[in-house]
Every structure is written in C-alpha cells, then in structure tokens.
Structure 1
Amino acid sequence: MSTSDLEQQQPPFEGTAPRGYELVLPPGWVRIPLRQGTKEALEKVLFSHMGQVPEGIPRDDAMRFRLDMRRQLEKQARAARRNGGLDLYLPVLPRGGIFLMASFIVAEMPIGPDHAVPPQAVIAQLANEEVRGGTAAKVEVAGAPALRRAYRSTSDEESRSSTPEALQQATLPTRRVEYVLPVVNAPGHWISINFSTPGDGDPDSEFTGVLVELFDAVVGTFKWSFE
C-alpha cells in the first residue's frame, strides 16, 4: 500500500480534512514523492528495486542503464513537480523481460476560488465539456463524486505537451486517463490522478487496454487518510 501525506502540502482547513491518501499498488510499482524525499526515493528505486535490467542489456552495461534511467526519472519528476505534482507512480521491475512504459501522477488541481459551488456541480460541468478524441463521465472515487476522462494522444500532441509522461513517451501515441476529485472537507481543493501509457505501441490493443484497466483498479483502492 502506498500512502502520501498532504499535511504540509495544503493549508489548514475547516472541519476534518484528510492528512493524506492511500493507494494499493500493483506488484513492482513504486511511489516517488515530489515535494519531499524525491532524491532518496529515486536512489532506492535505482539501486534496490531495479536489480534487474531488461533482456538484451549486457551485465557490464547494467550500471550505465541505471544511470540513464535515473536521469530520465529525475527529468520526469521535475516536470511533474512543476505541474503541481504530489507523487509520481511507475513500474520499476520488468515483466517478461521488459519494463512497462506507464506512469501516473497525483497532483494538485486548481478548479477555482469559488468555494460556494458544490463539488457535484463542478463535476457535472466538467463532464459536459467536450473531450477531443475521448470521453468524460461522472464516477465515484472513495464513495464520493468524481470525474473520469479518457482519451488518446498522438505523438505530435504529446511532443507539444508539458506533462512528464510526454517527456518519456513523446514518440508514441498514448492512452491517457484522468480522474478529478475534490479533497473531502477542504472546499476549493481538488486533486487529479493522471495516467499515461503507450502500451505496446498500439493504443487500441488488448495489452494497452489491460494497462488502462489496471490503473482503473488502482484508483478503485483510493481512500483518504485522516491519521
């Protein structure tokens, strides 16, 4: 289970606001905190979790592979932090000899300063907005109203984007899924959970679809932490 602390990332709220959130991660996935402890988390990932390397890379090149991976992850983490990111999640162990190209980010999301507007109304408005090449729907996350948007991005769109996934996957079309949800008992505060993967290079393949389903299942474990 992955937990993230929100206490030092948001101002005090009226009522009982959560101190953080929890997620159940699939085997081989890790959390990289983006506000504190990023360097230490990357060190642990690269020199503990990534004891294996993809097939085809000679043993003598394993350290070079890890250093290259470190530079990519540091770049991805910096970009995510600039975009309001709280935590970056990604797979660090190979499956079938290959590393999955996928990641998701939990980020602060400014919706607007009007705290009087009920979250349900904001979600309804967002659900009615057109999603180019995709869909938007009202869902529930942790027993509360939320929004789920899903769409495909072309390589050209990805290369123009400032998101961290674009930095890693700019040459491939990607499947993207975004959840938007209000922070409970914290008027005006929202977070987003953003997933991106090129899958196996075909955004419509069964393999890519399985990765999207895996992400949806992870979001299904989301809950607020009050302790």
Structure 2
Amino acid sequence: MSTSDLEQQSPPVEVAPPHGYELVLPPGWVRIPLREGTKEALESILFSHMGQVPEGIPRDDAMRFRLDMRRQLEKQARAARRNGGLDLYLPVLPRGGIFLMASFIVAEIPIGQERAVPPQAVIDQLANEDVRGGTATKTDVAGAPAVRRAYRSTFDEEKLSSAPEAVRQAALPTRRVEYVLPVVDDPGRWISINFSTPGDGDLDSEFTGVLVELFDAVVGTFRWSYE
C-alpha cells in the first residue's frame, strides 16, 4: 500500500480534512514523492528495486541501464512537480522480461481557489465538457463524487516532422485517463490522478486495454488518510 501526505492548510471548517491518501499499488510499482524526499526515493529505486534488467541487456551494461533509468525518472519527476504534482507512480521491475511503459501522477489542481464553488457544480461542468477524442463520465472515488476523463493523446504530425529525431522517436501516441475529485472536508482543494501509457504501441490492443483497467483498479483502492 502506498501512503502520501497532503500539505496541511487550515480551512475554516469544523471537520478535520484528511492528512493524505492511501492506495494499493500493483507488484513492481513504486511511489516517488515530488514535494520532498524525491532524491532519497530515486536512490532507493536505483539500488533496491532495480536488481533486474530487461532481457537482452548484457550484465556488463546493467549499471549503465540503471543510470539511464535514473535520468529518465528524474526528468519525469521534474516535469510532474512543475505541474503541481504530489506523487509520481510507475513500474520499476520488468514483467515477463520487459518494462511496462506507464505511469500516473497525483496532483493538486487550481479549482475553486478564487471563490467557493460547490463540488457537485464543478463535477457537473467537467462531466459535460467535450473531451476531444474521448469521454467524460461521472463516477465516485472513495465513496465521493468524481469525474473520469479518458482520451487519446496524439501529436501534430506537421510540427513533429521538424522536431529532432530523438523527440520524434519519443513522441508516441498514448492512452490517458484522468480522475478529478475534491479533497473531502477541505473546500476549494481538488486533486487529479492522471494515467498515461503508449501500451504496446497499439492503442486498441488488448494489452493496452489491460493497462488502463489496471489503473482503474488502482484508483478503486483510493482512500483518504486521517492519521
């Protein structure tokens, strides 16, 4: 189980807001905190969770592989933190000899910070917005109303054609799922849980669909923590 703390504020309510949240991670997945302890978490992953390497990588290249992974993780963590991220989650152990290309981020989002907006009104609006190439549906997370948005992320081929080769190779279409929910008993605070995966390169494949289902199952374990 992964447990994360939320930065404490003092809203004018009698009921104490949650201290953080908890969720159950699949085997081989880890949490990287983004507000503090990021460096220590990366060190732990590098030396404790990455004893295995994908098939086809010679033993002599194992350390180079781990260092390359460390750089990629640092890059992901920096990008997630810039976007209000609280925690980054991703798989660090290979399954069937390969590493899964997937991740999700829990982040705070600026909804209702200027003026108080009833959570249900926000959820209704988000659920009624057009999602290009996808859908938005009302759901519940931890017994409270939320919105699930699912769509596909593609790239502007014309702009991409003039990008460096490394950028073009890394620009894979992805399946994305986002849950948006209010922090209970803490008016004006919202979080999102954002998942992204290119799957096996085919966004319609069974394998890619299984990864999306896995993420939905993880969100199903989400609970607020009051300790």
Q: Give TM-score, length-normalised by structure 1.
A: 0.92
**Bigger-Rg structure (1/2):** 2
Give the 3 Å change call, closer, same or farther, for CA 120–114 of structure 1 in structure 2: farther
RMSD of aligned Cα (Å): 1.6
Whether the aligned pair in 2 keeps the contact of 1:90 and 1:104 (CA below 8 Å) is: yes
Q: Deviations over 1:109-143 (max 9, x none)?
A: 11133554210110000111100000000100000
Partners of 1:113 and 1:18 in 2: how far apart? 18
Alignment of 1:98-113 (within 5 A): 98-113=98-113
Q: Which moved more, 1:26-35 or 1:115-124?
A: 115-124
Q: How many residues align?
A: 217
Aligned to 2:10: 12
Q: Which amino acid aligns with 1:11?
A: Q
How big is the shift at 1:71? 0.5
Partners of 1:63 and 1:175 in 2: how far apart? 31
Q: Deviations over 1:152-186 (max 9, x none)?
A: 011449x99xxxxxx9x842110000000000011
Partners of 1:138 and 1:51 in 2: how far apart? 41
Alignment of 1:138-177 (within 5 A): 138-156=138-156, 170-177=170-177
Partners of 1:117 and 1:124 in 2: how far apart? 12
Partners of 2:48 and 2:194 in 1: how far apart? 26
Alignment of 1:24-173 (within 5 A): 24-113=24-113, 115-156=115-156, 170-173=170-173
Partners of 2:116 and 2:198 in 1: how far apart? 39
Partners of 2:139 and 2:9 in 1: how far apart? 27
- 5+ unaligned residues in a row in structure 1: which ranges? 161-166
Query: Any idea what SS the aligned residue of 1:124 has?
Result: helix
- Using the aligned pairs only, state the percent identity: 85
Q: Give TM-score, length-normalised by structure 2.
A: 0.92
